[in-house]
Amino acid sequence: MSSTPEGRQWSFGRWIAELPTRVWVALALLVAGVSFIAQNRVPVRIRWLAFSVTWPLWLALLVMLVVGVLIGVLGHRRSAKRR
């Protein structure tokens, strides 16, 4: 093992233990997202007005998530300007 400038021994276990909580949360969300995509690859047919597309289920849900986030952001900006 190598020494750090402070004289402490460097170890992989200590490095892992010192990771911030936000990194652990991001890793957990990444694993959950990859697992979700792997399990929802079946194509689905989506019809809206005169349009029809066939996409994997995960992609259709991702598009709806992005649309929802955009609606939330735009709605928040509009209500913030009224104050």
pLDDT in tens, 50-73: 999 999 999 998 999 999 989 999
Instruction: pLDDT band for 76, please (50, 70, 90 cuts).
Output: confident
Average pLDDT over residues 29-37: 90
Q: What is the CA radius of gyration of the chain?
A: 22
- Asked whether the beta carbons of 70 and 59 are under 8 A apart, the reply is no
Q: Cα dist. 77→57, 66, 72, 74, 82 in Å?
A: 30, 16, 9, 5, 9
Rounded to the nearest 10°, the torsion over CA 60, 66, 72, 73 is: -170
Q: What is the pLDDT of residues 2-18, one digit of tens each?
A: 555 565 677 877 877 78
